[in-house]
Structure formats: C-alpha cells, structure tokens
Structure 1
Amino acid sequence: MLTTQDKEILVQLQENGRMPIVELAKATNMSESTCLRRTKGLEEAGIIKGYSAILDAEEAGFGVTAFVQVSINQNNEAAFDKFKMAVKHHPLILECYSLSGPYDHLMKVVARSNKELSHFILKTLRTFPEIKDAQTLFVLQEVKNTNSLPVKLP
C-alpha cells in the first residue's frame, strides 16, 4: 500500500526522473534522508522499475507509428511462446500485449518510413512463427501519450 509520501515521490519522479534527492525532498516536504529511504524502498519493491530518457519518436527519426493486431494459430502453447520470443527480439516493436477478443496480440510498431513499415509487415512479420492473420492500423495523429500512472487517485 502506497503512503501519501510515496505517492508524492512517484508523482515528482514521473515528471522528472533525474531530480536530485535534495530537490525531491524539498518538493515532497520531507527530509533528505526520509526521501532517499522511501525512494530506495520504492525501487526495491519494484514499484519504480528504472529510470530512462523518453525520446520523441518523430524527432529521433521514427515518424511512422502503427498498431498491428495479430492472430496466432492456436495449435498449442508453444505457438504463443515462439511468437512472443520473436516479438521480444525485434527492435521496431516497442510494445506487445496479449489480448482477449478476435485478435491474440496488439503490437505498437515504429518505423523511419512507410517503406520500412511496409517491409516489416510484408516481409518480416511473415517470418514470425504461427501467425494466422494480421491487421495494421496506421497512427494519423498522437492525441495522448504518457507513461505517468495516476498514483494520486483516491
């Protein structure tokens, strides 16, 4: 169970993961030692998984984003395992989720161009094991994109 102080730390770190402990303590109205202890505790508990730079995909040269829905031949559990292993090792696939419903998985894919995305869909995706069907949805405009969890909800 997260305390009010833990939530304050998480809100601040989601806004600025590089915030020095001195500033974090000040922003959360805690002593530096208490803030550091609580932050380390959140890390050790796995609530804070890590720290990283968040890149702008378009500015970094990846101006094409698509979501690909995939159905797997459901012969056995090994089919899903093979597919998941292929997904984990492909750099253009940023996210992949197992789903309920008509498709088994949803992947978020980025590419530098439509040509690169087309190659991924028509050539690379076909080499993935056990794919029965795939549907690609091109992103026209990003409306909202956040990694920040609403930890202060009641």
Structure 2
Amino acid sequence: MLDDIDRRILRHYQAEPSLTAGELAERCRITASTCVRRLDRMQAAGILRGQEAVIDWAALGYAVEVSLRFTLDKTQPRAFDEFLAAAREVPEVLEIQTFLGRVDVRLSVIARDMGHYQQLYRDRILTLPHIADIEALMHIARVKRDEVLPV
C-alpha cells in the first residue's frame, strides 16, 4: 500500500510534524504538490489521523501518575459499557485500555499530588460501576515513550 516515497514522507513527518508541506517535500526530494497529494491520500486512507499537541503534564503541576488495573464484575451484562462510560467522565483519566485476560481495563490517571490522588481515588475512581478488583501501580519513571513507527 505504501511505496518508498510514502515511507520517506512518513519518516520525516513523524520526526518533525511541524514542517510545512514545502519543507517536508524538500527533505523528501519531491515536489510540494506531490507531497500534499500523498499526504491527502494517506489522510483519506486513515493512515494519518491528524496532529496533536503533546503536553507535559508534570510541567503543569501534575506530579503523580498512576496506572489502575480493574477486574470488572462480569455477571452484569452491561458492566464494560457502563464502566467505560463513567471512566470517560473523569477528567484526570488520560487513557483507557481494555484487555482480554485477568485484567479487564487499565486507566492511566494523573493528579497534582498524593492528596489530590487520594481524593480522586475516593470520590471518582471507587465510585465507578461494576468494580470487582483494583490494582494500583504508581508511576516512577518513563523509560521510553516513542510513538514513531519504523516505516
């Protein structure tokens, strides 16, 4: 589906998404119109989903990050749907992942400090529906974070 030129565009675009189409084309050694046409095609195909700002939450005062793993009460027919809908409403939940296996759902949660986390945990997390078990993993360090694909 992707040829060498598409891969070259994606490599440069991932490395520096703030490049203009002209700058990206120059680095890829193609014309700007070819670059724009290929970017449009990859966007239409769902390969490029858009650009986003990456915010350093710690720089904004959110010093605590916790990964919470949930096992849900699966005897309830709508347990997953109701849990996920309620979890989406918690602003401090950055990410929600679902799994097959012993753990059903993982939430990535941020808080300003331990006091804020404790309040968030009591008032918002423990009130989520259909929880059978919770395991909290306190984030210590991010060793690697890379969303760049090897294209």
Return the TM-score normalized by structure 2. 0.92
1:45 deviates by 1.2
1:77–1:34 Cα change, 3 Å: farther
Aligned to 2:27: 27
The CA distance in 2 between the partners of 1:89 and 1:45, in whole Å, is: 31
1:59 deviates by 1.0
Which residues in structure 2 correspond to 1:61-140 (within 5 Å)?
61-140=61-140
CA RMSD after TM alignment: 1.4
Q: Does 1:60 align with 2:60?
A: yes
1:76 deviates by 3.8
1:16–1:60 Cα change, 3 Å: farther
Over residues 68-96 of structure 1, what are the superposed CA-to-partner deviations in whole Å (9 max), with x where a residue is unaligned? 00111102441100011112222111111
1:15 deviates by 2.1
Over residues 15-48 of structure 1, what are the superposed CA-to-partner deviations in whole Å (9 max), with x where a residue is unaligned? 2222100110011111111100000111111111
1:130 deviates by 0.8
Return the TM-score normalized by structure 1. 0.91
1:125 deviates by 0.9
Aligned to 1:3: 3
Structure 2 gap ranges (5+): none
Supply the AA of the counterpart residue of 1:106. Answer: R
Identity across aligned pairs (percent)? 29
The CA distance in 2 between the partners of 1:84 and 1:126, in whole Å, is: 14
The CA distance in 2 between the partners of 1:120 and 1:146, in whole Å, is: 29
Structure 1 gap ranges (5+): none
1:8 deviates by 1.7
1:123–1:14 Cα change, 3 Å: same
Aligned to 2:18: 18
